[in-house]
């Protein structure tokens, strides 16, 4: 019996996305194997951090890299690193901010739940711009002696209203203020692992438990050596604000293995597979009389396709009802409502081959009743 059966916890088919509430992503066998091997021996954790960091930096074409306890922890640690640097006294004193810079600049139009992570640190968020636009001048005016860093969230949904990242980086350099990019979900394309740092961003953060398919509780921070060093000093195993955001030896080795796998993947073949799956859902549901749409990007602009299936008023059920019924069905299938709530997306990113037909059959059963198909 599987562990989940023993526990009485049902497993879920994920046609939605990399959601933390569903467990992030699934670990490839080579990642599990590496973690299992790592679990059999003691090591000096700082030494492992060093060596894993070096290899991750090489693989992602960056100066330096480190594993954190998720991207959210990576964001917290990165901000603290910009405040304390490698000053041991400041690291020990934090979150008391005596004599330390305490302001973090963010875009109003990029406000999202992840800013709470910065708020927890007791620093002040300084907003620039409004929902619809942000001007370079507003960034320049927001910079004071107290500015510790600028945090930038990359996502297609914000792009039109924010200052372009390249300009933010130029201003940051001019004033000697580091720019942190939260790119937690911005894979694929794989080159994002080095594109933002290549543009001059100081620290860039990725989730380990999303498309990288590392441990759910892992995150990757890449960037300037000096700042990664400050991140390390603010992290486990050092007594610091990062100590409760512990990363174990298994997660370190697991994330490194996942990154190694990811950068060497046949991304073209992978994309082809995603396209095939998304097209399959579009075609099958079109045959059933629904409007379908092949959407060529992920929810925040990532380069993977999705199928959108729209219900008509005459179908008798709302898209919301379908999404709920799929969740509550057997097997339980998670999809995502479209932004206009008229339909739902099916995302190939985490679908196993054998699950594809199951998902389609379930949709048909829900809409037309069980058949002997």
Tell me which residues touch ligand PLP (CB under 6 A).
20, 70-72, 114, 153, 182, 184-185, 207, 209, 219
Q: By beta-carbon distance, which residue lies closest to ligand PLP? A: 70
Distance in Å, CB of 235 to ligand PLP, minimum: 14
Distance in Å, CB of 18 to ligand PLP, minimum: 7
* Shorter beta-carbon distance to ligand PLP: residue 75 or 351: 75
Distance in Å, CB of 243 to ligand PLP, minimum: 17
* Shorter beta-carbon distance to ligand PLP: residue 78 or 292: 78
Distance in Å, CB of 185 to ligand PLP, minimum: 4
Which ranges of the chain does DSSP label H, i.e. alpha helix? 3-7, 29-38, 45-59, 71-84, 88-93, 115-119, 136-142, 156-159, 165-175, 192-198, 225-233, 249-264, 267-287, 319-328, 353-368
* Shorter beta-carbon distance to ligand PLP: residue 69 or 134: 69
How far are the Cα atoms of 52, 229, 261, 268 from residue 46, in angstroms, in the given order? Answer: 10, 12, 24, 37
* Shorter beta-carbon distance to ligand PLP: residue 188 or 209: 209
Distance in Å, CB of 355 to ligand PLP, minimum: 23
DSSP-derived letter for residue 89 is H
* Shorter beta-carbon distance to ligand PLP: residue 179 or 311: 179
The rounded Cα 231 to chain-centroid distance in angstroms is 19
| Contact between residue 80 and residue 121 where contact means Cβ atoms under 8 Å apart | yes
For the record, the structure tokens of 146 come out as: 């107290």
| Contact between residue 15 and residue 335 where contact means Cβ atoms under 8 Å apart | yes
Structure-token match 């993977």, residue found: 304
């Amino acid at each position: 019996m599987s562990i989940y059966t023993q526990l009485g916890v049902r497993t879920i088919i994920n046609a939605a996305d990399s959601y933390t509430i569903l467990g992030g992503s699934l670990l490839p066998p080579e990642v599990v194997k590496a973690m299992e091997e790592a679990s059999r021996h003691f090591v000096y954790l700082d030494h492992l951090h060093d060596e894993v960091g070096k290899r991750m930096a090489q693989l992602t074409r960056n100066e330096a890299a480190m594993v954190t306890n998720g991207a959210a922890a990576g964001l917290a640690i990165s901000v603290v690193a910009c405040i304390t640097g490698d000053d041991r006294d400041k690291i020990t004193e934090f979150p008391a901010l005596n004599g330390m810079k305490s302001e973090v600049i963010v875009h109003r139009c990029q406000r999202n739940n992840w800013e709470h992570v910065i708020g927890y640190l007791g620093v002040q968020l300084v907003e620039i711009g409004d929902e619809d636009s942000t001007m370079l001048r507003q960034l320049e005016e927001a910079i004071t002696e107290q500015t510790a860093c600028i945090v930038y969230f990359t996502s297609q949904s914000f792009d039109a209203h924010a200052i372009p990242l390249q300009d933010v980086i130029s201003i940051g350099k001019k004033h000697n203020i580091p720019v942190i990019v939260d790119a937690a979900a911005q894979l694929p394309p794989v080159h994002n692992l080095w594109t933002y740092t290549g543009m001059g961003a100081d620290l860039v953060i990725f989730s380990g438990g999303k498309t990288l398919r590392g441990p759910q509780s892992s995150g990757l921070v890449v960037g300037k050596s000096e700042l990664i060093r400050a991140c390390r000093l603010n992290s486990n195993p050092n007594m610091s604000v990062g100590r409760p955001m512990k990363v174990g030896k298994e997660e370190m080795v697991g994330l490194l293995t996942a990154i190694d796998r990811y950068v060497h993947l046949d991304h073209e073949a992978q994309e082809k597979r995603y396209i095939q799956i998304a097209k399959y859902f579009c075609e099958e549901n079109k045959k059933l009389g629904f409007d379908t749409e092949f959407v060529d990007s992920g929810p925040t602009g990532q380069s993977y396709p999705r199928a959108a299936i729209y219900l008509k008023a005459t179908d008798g059920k709302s898209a919301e009802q379908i999404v709920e019924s799929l969740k509550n069905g057997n097997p339980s299938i998670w999809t995502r409502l479209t932004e206009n709530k008229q339909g739902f997306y099916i995302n190939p990113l985490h679908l196993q081959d054998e699950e594809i037909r199951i998902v389609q059959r379930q949709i048909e059963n829900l809409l037309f009743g069980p058949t002997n198909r």
